[in-house]
Structure 1
Amino acid sequence: MKMHRVGLTTQITIGMVGGIVFGLLFGPLATTVKILGDIFLRLIQMAVILLIFGAVIEALGTLNPQDLGKLGAKTGLWFLMTTLLAATIGLGSGLLFKPGLAVHLDQLQPVGATAKATSSLNETILNFFPTNIFASLASGNVIQVIVFAILFGTVLSRANQRGQFSGLLTLVSQLNQLTVKLVMLVMKLAPISIAALMAGIVAANGSQVLLPLFQFLGIYGLATALFLVGLLTFVSWYAKVPIVGLVRGLSQIIIVAFTTTSSAVALPVEMRDAQAKLGVSKSVSQLVLPLGMALNSNGLAMYVALVCVMLTQLYHIQLTGVGLIQIVLLAVLSCLGTVVVPGGGLVALTIIVPTLGLPISSVALFAGIDWFSGMFRTVANVVGDTTTAIAVAADEHALSRDAYKSPATAPKS
């Protein structure tokens, strides 16, 4: 088989496995190649804010004002349902398997950095709204950029009913196309870059770093698998699409999410495959997927709920019904303003753990495996976003089911 015939998904998988083997064989020496992976992540991330900004404006700007409210309400409802489901599965997994009983308190050490004081609810909500959109773009504040883009796109949709601003809409659309082409160009570097990234991570941590928390990772992986199976089965039935085609269309999205642990890096692949392989219309995918990246972090909700239950077990704290509800609500709220780059899970924990009255030093327990738990988090995040887009597209009669036909049965062009 010639190399150019091997798909990108297969190349990335080979790169991931090769990177792990390289890291184990060469140890500290392998950390020197990690810079190649870091450069790759930066090249992807440099265009993400622009991609989100333009995609949301174009998606809203091309919608009929009457359809805008209905589509937004459906998207928000799906986000809420999937996030609550994920948080509940995380909570239930912690209560069932009791991972906190397998960890000793003397393993907890300070993370070496003090956590910022927890923001009040008013401050958290206020920080969603930008005072200067250029400052928000420059700092990469995803939530603030999305808020501005939603308002701008809504105004553009209302003002352009007679085509007065079609030139501006065309300009935004062309900018989006070029941005996607730029990201896809960078994605050609993915196999070797991800190999370097995995080699560096494995070499820096070593295989033994996972042993004390192997049970936690196993439980979290099982919970993620349960969530994905349930979600894919339901969406397959709801949207009336074959589950085999659904899994096939999601395969490259999952691989990229799993190996990079970044929803931001996976977003361009999501937007491309949602349209090309999963039949979602451009108008739906460009609205739902960027919003989902910032507002629908199913994997984080599950992770936070499981971690909170584990910590209460570790400190022998008995959870009441009110405490269980509090954990679920905190897990859901933590999805608002989620950091969409690797390491976002620890940031969320430094905010939520003190809120529950638990020592901030507890976060250290998860610092060493954050990259590995981030693999499961990101997969749950992107699959939740993409299946929401499929469900919304099915509701809006904007789903092409021909995309789910296998290559052997699909009509030739």
Structure 2
Amino acid sequence: MHKVSLTTQITIGMLVGAIAGMLFGKNVSGVTVVGDIFLRLIQMAVVLLIFGAVIEALGSLNPRDLGRLGAKTGLWFLMTTLLAALVGLGTGLLFKPGLSVHLDQLRKTPVHLNTPTNISQTILNFFPTNIFDALAKGNVIQVIIFAILFGLVLSQANKDGKFSQVLTLVKQTNQLTVKLVMLIMKAAPLGIAALIAGVVADNGSQVFLPLLTFLLIYGLATAVFLIALFCVISWVAKVPLIGLVHGFTQMIMVAFTTTSSAVALPVEMSDAQSKLGVSKPISQLVLPLGMALNSNGLAMYLSLVCVMLTQLYGIRVTPIALVQIVLLSVLSCLGTVVVPGGGLVALTIIVPTLGLPLSSIALFAGIDWFSGMFRTVTNVVGDTTTAIALAAGEDELDRAVYHSDKVSVKH
């Protein structure tokens, strides 16, 4: 018997919830408590998940890899993720997907963004005074800052294997936390059905129109980002643009159809070496690390969603709020990439942190699989272009594979 995937189950749950909301109206509004419980259960584990994943990713690295090459990798990851978040923000502000439909019930709900009064206060709030307080309050930015520092220290201290037990404990805790999140995600179809039923009961079927607009704008933003990235890497690595795009064709198809960075990783590593000329040591360091820590597509998705939600709720966004949306979009990616339903999990971090209603996440759950197509392609291309740039800088890039006669025979 063919097993129905979680994505299909969530889609069915969204349809059932939508139909129930339209048929029974206000009579089903009470079921939203089931969806609220589901969202709280995800929130319960997600801060611990990010905390452990960042420590494990950095703590597992060889200290030699954390030197010059590690710093360059981290810088490229940061630049591409920041660019992706800015593209998401820019397309959201330009096309205003949240204004395409007026959802009266949403606009009646008074919502205010949680934003500091100035830039210096914003920067100061990144740094924790007490890590346990940051964990208890779910302050994701402070937790990530601590986890990065702790992971770097663990990597250095464990070069002789003296702290291998600590690293093992972190890895095992992460494995259990991922299993916990996966267990909670099994309830996603029911939780999403309950939330959607409540939203449709309050607003009617018009709630789905902005989601189609969102997908179109997200697809456009993805195309803009990829074109920009290919042009930059062609110039930085001094390789022909046509040969570069050709080398990415297969991994883009795999990423788009599977919506999984983990599934695409073997193809990504093989093509990076055979079709894009990246040396094996560079690809083995950058690509697995990128899958765990770098998520251009998710950063773009989160910033676009946040802008759309501010428009749906009729919130006026200040420049400081825009900065906060971009930074949160970049930092919320850490540690959530490896989790099934990573986009949904990441939204449970950033939406309440900004002060937006948690129930609004349900709007995007039903189209998460379609969003995941664009997210995965952007993630895979972002990781591999970073590997190409680093290989070029380290003189470990075979540019001969970019010539048309060689490209055509390599599969």
Query: TM-score range, shorter-chain basis?
Result: 0.5 to 0.7
CA distance in 2, matches of 1:36, 1:344: 12
How far does the alpha carbon of each residue in 1:251-278 deviate from its partner, in whole angstroms, 9 at most, with x for none? 1111111111111111111111111111
Q: Unpaired segments of 5 or more residues in structure 2?
A: 9-55, 107-134, 155-164, 179-205
Residue 77 of structure 1 is matched in structure 2 by 75
Q: Distance in 2 between matches of 1:246 and 1:336?
A: 28
Amino acid at match of 1:119: G
Aligned residue pairs total 293
Once the two structures are superposed, the pairs formed by residues 53-132 of structure 1 within 5 Å of their partners are: 60=62, 65=64, 69-105=67-103, 119-120=138-139, 121-125=141-145, 132=166
Q: CA deviation at 1:94?
A: 0.5
1:405, CA displacement in angstroms?
A: 2.3
More displaced 10-residue stretch of structure 1: 289-298 or 98-107: 98-107
> How far 1:342 sits from its partner (Å)?
4.2
89-98 vs 258-267, which deviates more?
258-267
- TM superposition shift of 1:96: 0.3
How far apart, CA to CA, are the structure 2 residues paired with 1:329 and 1:143?
25
C-alpha distance in 1 between matches for 2:407 and 2:142: 55
1:340 corresponds, among 338, 341, 353, to 338
Post-superposition offset of 1:105: 3.1
Does the CA contact (< 8 Å) of 2:233 and 2:389 recur in 1? yes
Q: 1:411 to 1:329 in 2, by over 3 A?
A: closer
Deviations 1:45-84 (CA, angstroms, capped at 9, x unpaired): xxxxxxxx99x97x958xxx4x861111111111111111
**Distance verdict in 2 for CA 1:212–1:240, change over 3 Å:** same
Structure 1 letter corresponding to 2:342:
G
Which residue of 2 is the match for residue 282 of structure 1?
280
Residues 330-369 of structure 1 show CA distances to partners (whole Å, capped at 9, x for unaligned) of 0111122123244101101111101111100000110000
Q: What is aligned with 2:362?
A: 364
Contact preservation (8 Å) 1:210, 1:369: no
Partner of 1:219: 217
In structure 1, the residue matched to 2:245 is 247
| Partner residue in 1 for 2:192 | none
Preserved CA contact (<8 Å) 1:305 1:327: yes
**Amino acid of the residue matched to residue 349 of structure 1?**
L
TM, length-normalised to structure 1? 0.63
Q: CA deviation at 1:245?
A: 1.3
Amino acid of the residue matched to residue 329 of structure 1? L
Partners of 2:306 and 2:351 within 8 A in 1: yes
Distance in 2 between the 1:241 and 1:141 partners? Answer: 40
| CA shift for structure 1 position 219 | 0.3
> 2 CA distance for matches of 1:411 and 1:376?
29
Q: Distance in 2 between matches of 1:375 and 1:118?
A: 33
Alignment of 1:243-392 (within 5 A): 243-392=241-390
Offset of 1:291 from its aligned partner?
Answer: 1.3
Structure 2-normalised TM-score? 0.63
CA distance, structure 2, for counterparts of residue 314 and residue 249 of structure 1: 40
- 1:342 touches 1:374 (CA, 8 Å); kept in 2? no
Residue 320 (structure 1) shift = 0.6
What letter is aligned with 2:226?
L
Instruction: State the distance in 2 between where 1:290 and 1:379 align.
Output: 15
Per-residue deviation, 1:37: 11
Distance across 1 between alignment mates of 2:62 and 2:273: 17
Give the distance between the partners of 1:90 and 1:257, measured in 2 at CA. 20
Distance in 1 between the 2:374 and 2:137 partners? 26
CA shift at 1:214, angstroms?
1.2
Q: Give distance in 2, aligned partners of 1:36 and 1:96.
A: 34
Q: Give the C-alpha shift of residue 249 in structure 1.
A: 1.1
Give 3-state SS (helix, strand or coil) of 2:67's partner: helix
Q: Distance in 2 between matches of 1:303 and 1:234?
A: 22
Q: CA deviation at 1:211?
A: 5.0
Deviation of 1:127 (Å): 5.7
**Retained in 2: the 8 A contact 1:262–1:341?**
no
* Aligned twin of 2:196: none
Cα shift at 1:408: 6.2
Residue pair 2:286, 2:386 contacting (<8 A) in 1 also: yes
Higher mean alpha-carbon deviation, 69-78 vs 369-378, is at: 69-78
Query: Structure 1 vs Structure 2: percent identity of aligned residues?
Result: 67
The alignment's C-alpha RMSD in Å is 3.5
CA contact (8 A) 2:98 2:308 kept: yes
CA offsets per residue over residues 91-118 of structure 1, 9 Å max, x none?
A: 000000000012443687xxxxxxx986
Any gaps of 5 or more consecutive residues in structure 1? 1-30, 39-52, 109-115, 145-207
